[in-house]
Amino acid sequence: MLEFLEIEDPAVKQLINFVFLAATGAIAWHGLRVRNEDGKADFVHLLFGCIAAFYFFAVLFQDVLGLIQLG
């Protein structure tokens, strides 16, 4: 995922991956858990929460754990 940055140090790659996981995980959690005043989920929050969750799991399984190859 970070090939365009041409970073050689694996520790720096892992640090960037963990920062990305923390950010997308927080966005996904907020997007999927937030409710409006009526107690219902807003479509836009759910949409962006699902997109963030997809990227979270894609980076987790591909770059961090190395279990799958996307693309």
Each residue's pLDDT tens digit, 13-71: 889 999 999 999 999 999 999 998 898 988 999 999 999 999 999 999 998 898 988 77
DSSP per position, 17-71:
HHHHHHHHHHHHHHHHH---TTSPPPHHHHHHHHHHHHHHHHHIIIIIS------
Q: Would you state the pLDDT for residue 69? A: 83
